Amino acid sequence: MRRVRCIALIRCIALIRCIALIGAASACAPAGVRAPDPAGVRAPDPAGRVEAVTDFCPSNPSSFTATGAPSTDLYCIELIARPDLFETAIGVIQLAPAPSPFGTAVTRDGRHRFRTTLFIDGLPDPGELGAFTTYIAWAAPPNLAPLTKLGVVHNGRTETGEIALNKFYVLISAESADTVTDRRGPVVLRGLSPSTRMRDPHFIASSQATAPDQDHAHHDTGTGWSMPPHDPRVPMAAMGIEHLTPRVSPFLPSTNDTAAVPAARPRELLRVADGDTIALTAALVRRSLKGRDILMYGFNGQYPGPLIHVARAATITVDFHNATVHETAVHWHGIRLDNRFDGVPHVTQDPVVPGGSFRYTIHFPDAGIYWYHPHHREDIQQDLGLYGNLMVEPDAPGYYGPSHRDEILMLDDILLGDDGLVPYGEDAVNFAIMGRFGNVLLVNGEPDWSLDVRTGEVVRFHLTNASNTRTFNVSFDHARMKVVASDVGRFEREEWVQSVVLAPAERYVVDVRFEQAGPAALTNQVQGIDHMLGMFVPMVDTLGIVNVSARRAQPDLAESFSTLRHSADVHADVQRYRARFDDPPDLDLRLLLEDRGLPFGLTQLMRLDTLYFNPVEWAGTMPMMDWLPTAHDVRWVLRDAGGAENLGISRRYRVGDVVRVSLRNERHSLHAMQHPIHIHGQRFLVLSVNGVPTRNHVWKDTVLVPVGMRVELLLELSNPGRWMLHCHIAEHLEAGMQMLFDVDI
């Protein structure tokens, strides 16, 4: 007992010394202000600025909550010394997001990428431990193979290599030379990734029954509800909540005469000139998906809705008619249009009642790819097919680089059971915590999308994520890919990428060159989590096939494709605001979940994963847990620094203001989730993610905020009116996560 107390005391002293080592880096200092610099901890970068330890990773785990930083225990690793060095050697590792043009940095197969910075104190001269000259950091999965060399480390601050592992150990060993490629010397410090805190599979297996009974998963409860199907890649858990159903009535589209409902047609191209008027009607359509005949919705009888092609600076009129049973409105996502036509019921217009109409006038100031969808119970209406793209053609010659063709793809998913669609909550949303993940993935409304191209062909893909909650990580086999644009225009410079991460509502434009004949799959590759067993599950879904013929594409665009272009006009546009990058936040929002009376059994199930949350929940691997919570049970919250929440937050600005917005995704929650935050009617720049500055800017209207991370934005206010800021996971929006702000002339 005396030895246990002694070790505990030593560790306490070590943590206090660790605070002195990096905690004094003044994480709370405003951006651009030089913090105190403990000797030997940090050195100025070439520009003379100090890269301080950011406030998402203080050294003392006991201060995680007190610091106000939600992500400390997700992106910080404490290093434990071997017993004979316990009294001297201490350290921590900071996991910072790797640079990426997307909202989160991942590998092609969906493993999160982190840069590592080590802060160490008390290591003796390696020669005191034997015939050693240096210390080296290594990373390895739990089975310790393969071992990846991160780099040479020393007392103080050391930036090392990148880690892209689901669960991993970090080992610091004494070695004979800094050139060694395999660990040979003794380990002096070790640490475990935060993901290793997930429950041990043997513990769960022995304490909870698992029953991958797919028939039971589809059992009709007799209430009009049926349980959602389970992903066969993850065992189903029997947790004593099988008798529960959502505390709302179920809803599915219906009609007295199904045969009279028209079959949905594929999307049609609708070229619209300046001054033209088009008609848009939302109504029932019939579809057949995976052998199931179902009723859904479509704009103009199409799925997706018409692809509206229009020139930049054009103004058009849209006569909208609502032939559904819901009140609704059409939001023109990403367009900086007249506020009266933004399509937000009870804010910019009265809802369009069933059988009613509304006339929208839309001006298009920015080139790019945009989309339209309902902004009332979009968890139902959008998910059932009410969405379509707007292609705004640039008027500047050479806006994009050379390509052979453009393809516009809308990515989505749909949740099907044995009998068709899994019902929606009628009087309130269900799937209110994680959102409604589908089990059938769609491209342009089809589960078997395909495209024929020639070898060497360069295709420009305009990608939109229209799903309720799913974040995609898509890539093409046997093809090179570069990202060229996002929500509201081009990047400052093009970048080579292995995959494209799209949160709900985000758009990206990528140029892809198919260099090898044969089939090239378009896949979504992610790492799901089996929350019951505490394990990562690689998930690969084929969204479609690109058939590459042996015939060569003409002209040969290999040289122009290999060039990464810079956009001088985008750079100049961003440059006007660089002096404002270090402004203090005007709007500081925390993103969190409030429990309003979830069933006891459900909360017990959810507590299994509170030790660790993946930065992005890629898949619905616990469908029962997702399905049951409704907006009666939980509330998603935006909370400002003064304690005001959601629609209780009040902000008023003027046209021409530039506002810094800080978004902090609270990790300390019953179930933390990523949030794609959308701001209506304006555009913004992403300045940093967890203190890592953006190096390649692009104008955005939607940004992914991963779990436990802090994202800083610079919001340009150019458009007068009353506008929304909200989470674009449809179920989170319906469960409260929204606010309004005013921009005066």
Query: Can you tell me the mean pLDDT for 463-475?
Result: 98
CA distance 305 to 414: 16
- pLDDT tens digits for 586-623? 999 999 999 998 887 777 767 666 678 899 999 988 88
- pLDDT tens digits for 255-275? 989 999 999 999 999 999 999
Query: Can you tell me the mean pLDDT for 4-20?
Result: 39
Q: Are 224 and 423 in contact (CB under 8 A)?
A: yes
More confident residue, 154 or 49: 154
The tokens describing 172, both together, are 């610091």
pLDDT at 671: 87
pLDDT at 477: 96
Q: Is the model's pLDDT at 479 over the cut of 90? A: yes
pLDDT grade for 147, boundaries at 50, 70 and 90: very high
Q: Is the model's pLDDT at 486 over the cut of 50? A: yes
* Residues sharing a CB contact under 8 Å with residue 402, sequence separation 6 or more, in sequence order: 458, 557, 560, 561
pLDDT at 601: 72
- pLDDT tens digits for 160-198? 999 999 999 999 999 999 999 999 999 999 999 999 988
**CATH 2.60.40.420 residue ranges for the chain:** 261-399, 575-744
CA distance 405 to 411: 19
Q: Are 116 and 95 in contact (CB under 8 A)?
A: yes
The tokens describing 349, both together, are 């217009």
Q: Are 150 and 117 in contact (CB under 8 A)?
A: no
Q: Is the model's pLDDT at 218 over the cut of 50? A: no
Q: Are 469 and 729 in contact (CB under 8 A)?
A: yes
Helices (H), 147-273: 201-207, 214-217
Fold of 575-744: Immunoglobulin-like (2.60.40)
- pLDDT tens digits for 425-458? 999 999 999 999 999 999 999 999 999 999 999 9
pLDDT at 531: 79
pLDDT at 339: 98
Compute the CA torsion angle 442, 443, 445, 451 (nearest 10 deg): -130
pLDDT at 237: 61
Query: Can you tell me the mean pLDDT for 112-120?
Result: 95
pLDDT at 668: 82
- Look at 60-64, 282-286, 295-299, 361-365 and tell me which has the smallest mean pLDDT: 60-64
Between the alpha carbon of residue 136 and those of residues 70, 119, 129, 187, 672, the distances in Å are 30, 13, 14, 9, 35
The tokens describing 375, both together, are 């902004």
How far is C-alpha 224 from the chain's CA centre?
Answer: 33
Residues of the chain above pLDDT 90, percent: 76
The tokens describing 361, both together, are 């006038």
Query: Can you tell me the mean pLDDT for 240-259?
Result: 88
Query: Can you tell me the mean pLDDT for 409-426?
Result: 95
Query: Can you tell me the mean pLDDT for 195-220?
Result: 48
Mean pLDDT of the chain: 87
The tokens describing 191, both together, are 């640490």
CA distance 713 to 580: 11
- Look at 73-82, 376-385, 697-706 and tell me which has the smallest mean pLDDT: 73-82
Q: Is the model's pLDDT at 69 over the cut of 50? A: no
Q: Are 464 and 540 in contact (CB under 8 A)?
A: no
pLDDT grade for 240, boundaries at 50, 70 and 90: low
Q: Among 700, 600, 722, which residue's Cα sits nearest to residue 333?
A: 700
Q: Are 712 and 660 in contact (CB under 8 A)?
A: yes
pLDDT grade for 661, boundaries at 50, 70 and 90: very high
Query: Can you tell me the mean pLDDT for 45-49?
Result: 30
Between the alpha carbon of residue 497 and those of residues 168, 196, 474, 481, 600, the distances in Å are 25, 29, 11, 6, 44
pLDDT at 199: 63
The CATH superfamily of 261-399 is Cupredoxins -  blue copper proteins (2.60.40.420)
Query: Can you tell me the mean pLDDT for 17-34?
Result: 31
pLDDT at 68: 38
pLDDT at 200: 53
pLDDT at 344: 97
Q: Is the model's pLDDT at 511 over the cut of 60? A: yes
Q: Are 481 and 500 in contact (CB under 8 A)?
A: yes
Q: Is 431 left (phi over 0), alpha (psi -120 to 50) or beta?
A: left
Whole-prediction pTM: 0.89
- pLDDT tens digits for 363-392? 999 999 999 999 999 999 999 999 999 999
pLDDT at 32: 29
pLDDT at 2: 43
More confident residue, 287 or 2: 287
The tokens describing 18, both together, are 């660790």
pLDDT at 728: 98
pLDDT at 227: 83
Q: Is the model's pLDDT at 341 over the cut of 70? A: yes
* Residues sharing a CB contact under 8 Å with residue 495, sequence separation 6 or more, in sequence order: 101, 482, 483, 564, 696
- pLDDT tens digits for 515-555? 999 999 999 999 999 877 888 999 999 999 999 999 999 99
pLDDT at 611: 77
